[in-house]
Amino acid sequence: MFVNARIQIVRSVVFRAIVLHCQLILALLFLIGPSAPRAQQSPSSLRLMPLPNSMQTGQGTLAVNAHFHAGFSGVHSVRIDAALDRFLWRLDRQCGDIRRMQSTAAATDPMLLTIQVAGPGAATQSVDEDESYKLAVTTSQATLTAATDLGAMHGLETFLQLVSMENGACRVPAIAIDDTPRFRWRGFMLDPVRHFEPVDEVLRTLDGMAIAKLNVFHWHLSDDEGFRAESKKFPRLTEVASSGLFYSQDQLREVVAYARARGIRVVPEFDMPGHSSSTTIAYPEYGSGEDLKSLPLVHDAPRAELDPSSEKTYKFIDTFVGEMSEIFPDAYFHIGGDETEGKAWLSSPSIKAFMDKKGFKTPPELQAYFNQRLLPILSKHGKKMVGWDEILNPSLPKDIMVQSWRGVDSLAQGATQGYTGILSAPYYLDAQKTSEEMFLADPVPAETTLTPDQQKLILGGEVCMWAEQIHPETVDSRVWPRTLAIAERFWSPQSDRDVAEMYRRLRLASLELEDVGLNHISGPEKLRRNIAGNANPEALDVFASVLEPISFGDREDAQHTDSYTSLNRLVDAVVADPPARQQIAHDVDAIVTQAPGSDAAAAASHLRQRFESWQQAAPVIQAWALRSGRLSDIADRARQLNALAQAGLEALAFLDTHTAPPAAWLDAQKAILADVDKPSALVRFVFLPSLQKLVDTAASQPAIAPSRQP
Ligand code: ACM
């Protein structure tokens, strides 16, 4: 077996060093040009995402399936052995025969891919860990070097993204990559409270994170609506406050181990003192006198607050944090801390008396006291505090970390006061923003007013997936592929801002995610089949391709979404920022600008076909809406699709014949566009600015003077 073969590859240290040295010199000699270009100059054929810090392409390619043999030069850990195994499975799926070649290679056969890792990295991954790697590929071999397993794992992901199939053979371009992340904290937060996400979903999210080179899984394990982590010391937390939906301690450990195997830290969050209804229902003695009868169903229901005036509360937290620290080894412990209104504190006579005694006039002062009491408890268990914006208070020491959800300004405010921080405000996936918007939002933008030392306090950012409006069937399509665009922002140079180039690679990396088991493409397809009750819901696919969900706030206002709302309608089977948005914008721009090199005629032809497909789909959907309960709300949007298609076709016809439309035509199109702008069916069309542009361009053509009679 290749595992044994790998173990047999034991060469002398000196020999290994010489071989590796020669390989690197050969690689460098082979590569052209004296200096590495910045990452955004990526050759248009590459599909690397995130872009490396620097890379230099060479001439020629390395044939991967000629005689594949990968292995290590030097010591290697069990963790990186397992990472190589996973790499081989994935390469085998792309290229075929990889695992067979690997298993039959003799230990002495030259290696096509040599991995050299100086050491495994810290036993508990730290925020300061060296994640850099170098990957040199020539036409005869590839060499991956890294200081730790983490860098080597990132390098293996990069290698997989370099592979392409040409004429039936897998190849990797000659290239030299020298890569290191821009930010140390590249996180993804999952909320399994509002809707529970089973452990399999968590594991596949970690697979996606590894591809995106994200390195922190922030697990929001408690909130008002439920408590999702088993405690043996406080069993009522899940017995009473989880509706039976929680992770056992074995599952928590499984996730931590799975994440570590992929170079990902796990930071658990237990929200306190606010967002604590679940804790307070299970153990009213730690609450502030609220009389909660059942778990809240909606996220803005009255929230309970732990009682900061009671010593019992701190004893509970001490025991609980101690228990969780046995499971979660990370140095950081997220205490939540957001949105603590203190209403229960102010209406509790004993807590109010406590505040008066301490001289606290407002709930934030009491919350700062609570956090001060938490600090020695956390440090007793070897933990540093991380919490949302609201924990920021000058009375707390500088080694706490603030996660900014209310905006870049509050992040900067923390940094100017000397606190470390991460940015999340622009990366709330349920805001349904485009990949472009989130990719361009930078934790430290070029125009920042922070000093260089203050900038160093911004450790990175986190994508946030709140779960009020998702469930296990839809979560992947909300998270991916947009999270790849944000992950690139966290990893790649600040100067990487080419949106068109980002989208080109995003579409390709998105397929790679499906290949490892995520279902952000296939999930919505399946849902649409089920919603239509039809094995071939082509009309619905056409319709869905130009729709996206409305934002979290708009949906909440329109639907009053709660834990029992069925998330089973078209809004759940469409995705934010679908590819059609850019494709239509691209075609319209080609027609409007008539720029040299843009094929306006081809663009007009694409658009015409697209509009015609809408016209065919609309009546089918209208008929389905009459007979399917799950489509009953979309008849109006289907009617609008038909009207928009007609508007587009007429605009194209006026442009084609260089005819200025009558003024009444423009008024009619304006009325159509105003009509579709109104809320309906929790979805919105993604192409309206482009269609508006097309209509305006058609309407602004100069009227052709009537030809004179001869
Ligand atoms: C938050 O969104 N309340 C952290």
Percent of the chain clearing pLDDT 90 (strictly above): 86
Among 339, 427, 463, name the best residue to mutate to test ligand 1's pocket (greatest count of ligand atoms within 8 A of Cβ). Answer: 339
Nearest by Cα to 80 from 17, 184, 156, 27: 156
What are 417-467's pLDDT values in tens digits?
999 999 999 999 999 999 999 999 999 999 999 999 999 999 999 999 999
- The closest-lying atom of ligand 1 relative to the alpha carbon of residue 428 is 2
Q: What ranges do the domains of the chain cover?
A: 2-32+521-699, 54-179, 185-515
Question: Ligand 1 centre from 265 Cα, in Å?
Answer: 21
Average of pLDDT values for 480-501?
97
Give the pLDDT score at 703: 66
Give the pLDDT score at 10: 30
Cα 324 to chain centroid, rounded: 26
Per annotation, catalytic residue among 339, 501, 514, 525: 339
C-beta atoms surrounding 394 within 10 Å: 8
Give the pLDDT score at 704: 56
Distance in angstroms (rounded) separating the CA atoms of residues 132 and 47 = 20
pLDDT band (50, 70, 90) for residue 1 = very low
Distance in angstroms (rounded) separating the CA atoms of residues 459 and 442 = 12
Give the pLDDT score at 511: 96
3-class secondary structure for 516-575?
A: CCCCCCHHHHHHHHHHHCCCCCHHHHHHHCCEEECCHHHHHHHHCCCCCCCCCCHHHHCC
Quick check: CB of 286 below 6 Å from ligand 1?
A: no
Weakest-pLDDT range from 17-31, 97-111, 411-425, 584-598: 17-31
Decide: helix, strand or coil at residue 276.
coil
pLDDT band (50, 70, 90) for residue 360 = very high
Among 269, 388, 427, name the best residue to mutate to test ligand 1's pocket (greatest count of ligand atoms within 8 A of Cβ). Answer: 388
DSSP string, 178-211: EE--S-SEEEEEE--SSS---HHHHHHHHHHHHH
Quick check: CB of 428 below 6 Å from ligand 1?
A: no
Q: Which residue CA neighbors atom 2 of ligand 1 most closely?
A: 405
Res. 57: pLDDT tops 50: yes
Give the pLDDT score at 328: 98
Give the pLDDT score at 628: 86
DSSP 391: G
Question: Ligand 1 centre from 299 Cα, in Å?
Answer: 11
Question: Ligand 1 centre from 125 Cα, in Å?
Answer: 26
Q: Which residue CA neighbors atom 3 of ligand 1 most closely?
A: 338
Quick check: CB of 407 below 6 Å from ligand 1?
A: no
pLDDT band (50, 70, 90) for residue 167 = confident
Res. 33: pLDDT tops 80: no
pLDDT band (50, 70, 90) for residue 28 = very low
- Is residue 172 within 8 A of residue 163, CB to CB? The reply is yes
Residues 6+ apart with CB under 8 A from 104: none
Question: Ligand 1 centre from 410 Cα, in Å?
Answer: 13
Question: Ligand 1 centre from 257 Cα, in Å?
Answer: 27
Query: Which residue would you say has higher pLDDT here, 349 or 6?
Result: 349
Quick check: CB of 338 below 6 Å from ligand 1?
A: yes
Give the pLDDT score at 44: 61
- Helices and strands counted in the chain (H then E): 27, 18
Among 405, 427, 465, name the best residue to mutate to test ligand 1's pocket (greatest count of ligand atoms within 8 A of Cβ). Answer: 405
Give the pLDDT score at 598: 79
- The closest-lying atom of ligand 1 relative to the alpha carbon of residue 388 is 4
* Bridging pattern class, strands 683-685 and 547-549: antiparallel
Give the pLDDT score at 168: 84
Res. 34: pLDDT tops 50: no
Res. 36: pLDDT tops 80: no
Give the pLDDT score at 364: 96
What are 611-620's pLDDT values in tens digits?
999 999 999 9
Average of pLDDT values for 453-482?
97
Question: Ligand 1 centre from 405 Cα, in Å?
Answer: 6
Quick check: CB of 405 below 6 Å from ligand 1?
A: yes
Question: Ligand 1 centre from 389 Cα, in Å?
Answer: 9
Average of pLDDT values for 485-505?
97
Q: Is the peptide bond before 376 cis (omega within 30 degrees of 0)?
A: no
Query: Which segments of 13-92 are extended strands (E)?
Result: 54-63, 70-72
Res. 631: pLDDT tops 70: yes
Question: Ligand 1 centre from 337 Cα, in Å?
Answer: 9
Helix (H) or strand (E) holding 336: none
Weakest-pLDDT range from 8-12, 403-407, 529-533, 545-549: 8-12
* Bridging pattern class, strands 70-72 and 113-117: parallel
To the query of whether residue 290 is one of the catalytic residues in this protein, the response is no
Quick check: CB of 388 below 6 Å from ligand 1?
A: yes
DSSP string, 646-692: HHHHHHHHHHHTT-PPPHHHHHHHHHHHHHHTS--TTEEES-HHHHH
- Residue whose token pair is 């002062």: 365
Give the pLDDT score at 188: 99
What are 107-148's pLDDT values in tens digits?
888 899 999 999 999 999 999 999 999 999 999 999 999 999
Percent of the chain clearing pLDDT 70 (strictly above): 93
For the four alpha carbons of 495, 500, 503 and 505, in that order, the dihedral sign comes to negative
What are 59-75's pLDDT values in tens digits?
999 999 878 999 999 99
DSSP 165: E
Give the pLDDT score at 32: 33
At 446, the amino acid letter reads A
Task: Report helix angle 149-162 to 199-211, nearest 10.
Answer: 80
Quick check: CB of 345 below 6 Å from ligand 1?
A: no
Quick check: CB of 654 below 6 Å from ligand 1?
A: no
Q: What's the whole-number average pLDDT of the chain? A: 92
Give the pLDDT score at 107: 80
- Residue whose token pair is 């909320």: 191
Decide: helix, strand or coil at residue 447.
coil
Tokens representing 156? Answer: 């293996």
Q: 185-515: which CATH number, 3.40.50.150, 3.40.50.1000, 1.10.357.10, 3.20.20.80?
A: 3.20.20.80
Query: Which residue would you say has higher pLDDT here, 487 or 564?
Result: 487
Quick check: CB of 339 below 6 Å from ligand 1?
A: yes
Average of pLDDT values for 479-490?
98
Q: Considering just the CA atoms, what is the radius of gyration of the chain in Å?
A: 28
Quick check: CB of 370 below 6 Å from ligand 1?
A: no
What are 364-402's pLDDT values in tens digits?
999 999 999 999 999 999 999 999 999 999 999 998 999
Res. 39: pLDDT tops 90: no
pLDDT band (50, 70, 90) for residue 43 = low
Of the CA atoms within 13 Å of residue 407, those in its CB half-sphere come to 3
- Is 54-179 a CATH 3.30.450.40 domain? no
